Structure 1
Amino acid sequence: MLSAVETRSVSPVFVGRTAELNTLQDALARATAGEPQALLVGGEAGVGKSRLIEEFAATACRAGAVVVVGGCVEIGADGLPFAPFSTALRALRRELPAELAAAAEGQEEELSRLLPELGEAPTGRHDEEGMARLFELTARLLERVAADRTVVVALEDLHWADTSTRHLLAYLFRTLHTGRLVVLASYRSDDIHRRHPLRPLLAELDRLRTVRRIELDRFNRAEVARQIAGILAEEPDPAQVDDIFDRSDGNAFFVEELAVAAHEGCCTGLTDSLRDLLLVRVEALPESAQRVARIVAEGGSTVEYRLLAAVARLSEDDLIEALRAAVGANLLLATPSGDGYRFRHSLVREAVSDDLLPGERSRLNRRYAEALEADPTLVPADERVTRLASYWYHAHDPAKALPAVLDASAAARRRHAYAEQLGLLERAMELWDSAPEEVRATLRPADYTEGYPPCGCDPATTPLRHLDLLAEAAVAGRLCGERERALKITKRALRLLEDDGDPLRAAWFWTQRSRLVQALARGDGWRELGIAQDLVRGLPPSEVHAEVLTTAANWSMLHCPGPEALAAAERAVEYARMIGAREIELNARVTLGGLVVDSGDHEAGLAQTRQAMEQALAEGVTGVAGRAYVNLPSELESVGRSKEAAALLREGVDFTRRYGQLDAEAWVWGNLSDSLYSLGDWEGSVEAATKALRRGHSAKPQGMGALCLAHVALSRGDIAEAGRQLRAARDYFGSHDPMPQQRLPLARIVVGIAAAEGRVTDLRAAATDALDGGVPLGTHRYGWPLLLAAATAEADTRTLPAAQPGREEFLEQLWSTVRTLTTDAPIWLAHEQWVRAELQRAQGSATADVWSPVVAAFEQLERPYDLARVRYRLAEALLTPGPGRASGTEDDRDRATELLRLAHAVAAHLGARPLAEAATQLAQRARLALRPAADPGPAPAADPVTALGLTSRERDVLRLVSAGRTNRQIAEELFISPKTASVHVSNILAKLGVSGRGEAAAVAHRLGLFPAGADDRLAAR
């Protein structure tokens, strides 16, 4: 009804900002080409951020893009969880209903946490991945919607953003890689004080090369003059420009206010106070319009018309007249949907709100709350409980505020807005003692404590206790990353429980502390779990009891698997089944299956785990199913069934991606890297490990990715890269929570690097430290490779004088460990034979008869690289004279030749340079031909470089080496890195059998490889 009112104070001329607008338009062009863009627009209040975004949005729409805008909502001092994303997605649904529905298909329930119109948010247990899962699904939704069209998502007023909104924005900025998408957010730079929660996010985003940051400066005098001319529709007087420029200091909003005030002749007597400037036009309004302005100021960023009418208590005619005056004075604006009002600029709203008396503010908040209670339809459904809680809290009415705040906390939890849930629960605890007893008696745990399992009482009839709030707050703190706050909450709760005599509640809090201690790197969490187990021991089955046993069994499976862990898992399954805690039961069964495999009963354990996974999939328990997709393939790999593991892991990638389970997906990629390494697909292994690093939400799955990369690099002879990845893996794993599945593989890499660098003392120290106390039951899959690396290193250095001190003692330790390790699968029986053969080689007694059964064992397995290595050892033994034995019969030489050819072919295919070079050198020493006589290979090339075995790239590098170029010059000419050039030069020296660049150049010159002028032709090419 007021949409036709003229807004004179907004200049029709867009002034300045040419560079900033060009940056935004460049981002639009890049996004249209398929490269997602992330931008931040900052500037002080009133400097023109919104106007710049409006101008860009108009440009984008003219270019055919879909533009949606969402703003962070401030309600009193509270932010509304995910408000800008909910608004933007709602607008996107209006613009592209079919496209958004298709993009959200299958994930409507989870995405309804942001967009309630998609369905009902699921209930159930909450976990650490809940928020990350929602974030991943949101990112994928936007990528899918923007796959075929350019979409611009603008989020305004980030300085008011709730924690969950900030986290989601940071996630999008880090992870968007596909789609024609522009995401930009604006914020007030002058509001970002040293402790403002947005400051760490801005610092984090500044480090991302993919994020562009635009800072708007104030206008200069010429720009101010153009702005005033646009507002007044005439050239202003220079003196007036000088005055307005001096008083506004170039702030666009204040230029508007001063220009209009000067034009209307109401600037006389004004002080230089900006607050007075903002209020002077409010005070010039009729009293009814001033009253409406004060009501709107206290209602939040935007107030719906029906809610305003209920609070103002004016007749409809009087309210419309008051609104007309406020809109006509350009104080208020109708919202784009036409069903509400907001201040034209938040600075004016803040000035009006600050001018309210304390009692006036409380009274207005009470009236808002009463109106909303009387008619909940006055505001959108997804804002209702949060706004009601805020209104009652600021009305200073604990009796009404406590249940409203608790309702809002439950709503925040359902949206995975755990940071907001924590803040609301802390507010509830603040109100607890002030609220009347009769009010507290009506509150029930079932309504507010979904994340807190009942402790032997009926949550629907038992009154809510302060301890219940502490429990829910501890979970919320853990899930939103506020672990220090959560740890303090558990400490406070346990102190209250000291005289309470409630062992189940105490056990539950000790289990939470265990998780928090591990997450904060304060220890491995076992002490806390031990206390929890002591507290529930002997008690009847309960959900808490089953949860404690499941957690303890899973901890033991990772740290010290054995009979006690197996018994705990069996009891956890039994207790969970007895009380009907299905998710806990399925989770415990996944753990139990792994422990049964570790105990040696492979088929039974694998069957148990597979059955638990299938039931979790059928029943929609996606968290347990995701864990099973990690554990079951890992167990298959542990018994040498790598092909089965890889096939299941590829299913796991699809499943965990579909449900946004980032950590589970990262673990799946890491396990796939392991299996592909075993199967001889090292390029696939590297790719999978890299994805584990990128997709991991927490540190440990990223550590596994780095460990896999270190393993491949070491096998390929890239010691520097292996060292870098080893350091990265150590950083990810930390030192507070050592596990055999991390500690033993790390030690294997340390041993391998030390052996490659000839550091015998260091490799022995690393192996001794890792093997101290033996290899725990069920972790032999990590123990055998470590023993193999140590035994191989000792065998390789057996003739070095520096390796003799301490040698016998170390070999005896290795022999002793071999005797204690289990060989419950063909793969580990083969490894036992291999390690024994290497130890015999270290003692000088490994004959062909020792190596032949090792080769035979690996020929039955799916391990091409391992088979190549033992074939090389057998060939070496066949060609090495022994006691009473010559250098080998003709049959031995023929067999050795074939073994070396096979080993070299595999090594060359995998890029395993150390093995390939060893096979080549052994063949050269024994005067064996690695190429079969019946297969002369390709016809001799006219270019003799080919005969030297050089690749085409190495040919180019040798040409430049012959021309006297440095590695840097080579890199520049061939568009490669200096490091890559250096690697190529090293390979060339090895293939030519020379020790330096000069000798390589001499060989090339002597053979006439590169005629004069050839280097010039290369450069031209």
Structure 2
Amino acid sequence: MTKPAEQADTAAMGSNPVGGVRDDGLMPSDWTTTEPLVGREVELQRLLQAAGVGDREARGGVLLSGDAGIGKTRLLRELAARAADDGHQVLAGHCLDLGDSAIPFQPFAEVLVGLDVATREAISEAMPPLGPLMWGAVDGAGVDRGELFSSVVAALELLAASRPLLLVVEDAHWADASTRHLIRYVLAQRYEGPVRFVVSYRSDDLHRRHPLRPDVAEWSRLPGVQRLELGPLGDDEVRELVRSRATAGLGAPDVTAIVRRAAGNAFIVEELLDVDDQEGPLPSTLADLMLVRLDRLDESGRQVVRAIACAGGQVTDELLGAVVDLPAATIEEALRSALDHRILTRTRSDGYAFRHALLAEVVRDDLLPAERRRIHTAYVRALLDDGESADVARHAFEAQMPDVAFTASVHAAEQATRVTGHEEAAQHYERALSIAESAPDGTDVVDLVIATSEALTASGYVRRAFGVVDDFLDRESAGLSDHDRGRLLVAYGAAALMADRQVEPAQAVERAFAIVPEQPTPLRASLEALAAIVAANERRHEDAIRWATQAVTLGQRLGLTRVVADAAATKARVRARIGDDPAGDERRFLEVAEAARESGNIVAELRARHHLAFHYHDRGDLDIAEREFLSTMDAAAKAGRQWAPYGFDGRFFASVTAYLRGRWDLVVELGDVSALRPPTVHAACLEAVGLLVSAGRGETDALSTAERLRDGFWKKDIALAIHSGTAAIDLAPDVVSAERWHDDLVKTLASDWAGELAPARLRMAGLLVSRYADAAPHASSVERSGWIENAARLRAVGDRTIVERGPFGLEGRAWSMRLDAEILRLRWGAGEEVPLETMLSAWRETTATFAELGHVYEEARSASRLAAVLHAAGDVAGAKQVASAAFEKAADLRADPLARQLEQLAGTTTRSSSSDRAPASTPAVAGEKPLTAREREVLDHLVEGRTNGEIASMLFISTKTVSVHVSNILAKLGASTRTEAAAIARRQQV
């Protein structure tokens, strides 16, 4: 019987396993590919070339190998489709896993039986030895084997006389001896006509004594025969496969788990998509299928493999000898057998590991509890003296040796911290904290709690960092000294700040001041520095400067460089807000950053650079702000803190700033972080900014992403909620849905973030009233009346927001103007008398303010409203001028819905619609819009004929990012294909 892994692979070939041709000579309709081929671009091109597709003079054969479920059949389907498009006849036969009941010549009989009756009759008459195979007597009894073989070759020649022939034989690892001999004979022939031959087999089945193994070695030496090994999919390709197959949205952790567990195997990816808990046990059918491999080993082999499964990675001969209670010679023989059956593989450091990590997981889960503890205890004893602390800790936990596990975990955390492995350090600290009752006497558990919180913060898990301290305070604070409680409260307040908690930071400061005496101690200095940050966040500027000054003074006295840098950064931030010395603000931030860098205080340096970037942002220098945000992001990544506060903020606010500046492709690139394994909330925050781009480009299917973010993340990050919620107001299919998104966001801001009057209310109101205004001309009088009343209420809320949360900068003023202008447009669309001069003034001011801000999209969108009013006022020339200029911006953004509106307002076809051209709207003449440095790098590789996947690996970026760059290159060069772009580049030396 065909095994499940192969059923998933061969099912794509059609439920009827017959590879014959239709009456028109083409492949059967059930061979038609229904889903796009993911990855495999390089392998497909090699296979097409080796199989002679596109080359009428080519002859020969291909041996295609790969593990079960790796995607051989899917690749063959694509080959078949391309070959059929090229005019080939495509025939396919399958070897079947029938054990001792194998049918001789099964794949060839399958091919012949599948031919139409007229063709079979013609072949039977010309080649009588094929009659038994063609009409059901598959065993070929009474037929001379030599005549049979030569008749098969003659039949292939006959079929190829009318058009090229591609013959595929699948699953040759199950072929009987007769079939293998016939395959060898067919491969060895020199055909007159265009006959091409592809044989596929499972490489992981070819153990040392497998009968196909010597045959493959022999076939490979035949003239014109090539071998192609199909390896695992890359991580990016697995993610793409998951996205293409998943019927419901999967979160980043689920996708990451599938990538890790599937290890590039397409069949396993498909199976894991049906698992509810991606970190939980495998489906029993998949686990049983994988465990079948162990049945090929004897008991010693299974014992060795089980021990390696518990190792958690590769194992050396020496370690294995210390763990497995078997003679060295027996262990060596067991290893040789496991290698031969392709269960294990050799590592570069002369160790052993599972070829597929999921098999190790299945073997480990299949162990009895006592058996597992015994193996892990043996590992602890072998590693205790000179093994890695992380390895000792892991085995000690599994062996239920908590005292050993605690000490080893703390040591492992300290080692990870020294090499900026903050996420690993956090994991070790958390595990140590979970068994703190087993800590040695004299252990400072408060210090362990603080270290755990700091490691979690450094790795980006700020909410968990807060939770660790919060939980310990709730459980243990009663038995602590005032000094230890004060230390915990300072850590609690700092963690609460990073987790965007609203009230806890101030509460922590108040409680800490009640028990920390006003004495020159490091704890007092840290508390004053924390009090300065809390006061600054509450805009109590005088208090903030006072506490910061005291913290700096005390910190300098005690040599506390971190406290000094933190307090100095807070003081510089407050001075910049006050605005009493604009010329000195930039200098102060730079001085703090440099002092922190010289002292090795990366956190303070990142914080100062973060504040400097916002300093530029707030004064409208968006280009400099974006550069500084990106610089902060890069500096954090080098320090292993790319997901920590300020490090991730650099990426996030660079993305937001790039959105404002109209650099939307950079937004997409910065948001493409799945391969970097970010914390879930961080990935969701970047998705939220990306939704703004989707909204501008009219990608309505992105609304499902907004729904997922609303349901799972709005309570976890206020900026995430605002960006995804406002994008959804634009993406919503109708006014009712837009209102629902607006109201849901208001509720979240009020209930979860104490932000009923958050500054974003102006933006939210402007977008919703815009939807009202768009729909007003076609709405009922009742609907119009209700919308006008709600718009007035929204304006009133906006006024309260300005009073209580203002004064606002340029962006806040722009959205306030936009709201007023949209209300006027709504009233106008509802039939009220609105003076056109009032409308013109409102939209001119709005457009100009967004232009001053540098918000490219909203400037263009406001300009579209202005152009419409100008047209209504009779200024057709003015309307065209405004619309044409705005169209250029919208087209460059690929904001197709807005571009189409502006094109109509311009009254002429300004350019071809961006939906009918390359993704970016740019001049066709190379050089009129120059390529960026990165685009030139991509173009150089494109000219050399490399695929997106190859370019991605060479430039250390994702395939998706390469695709964006290629799209931009095509547009800037005015090319419609990669080949044309390469030709233009060569001709013009771009």
Report the TM-score, using the length of structure 1 for normalisation: 0.48
- Greater RCO (Cα-Cα under 8 Å, separation 6 or more): 1
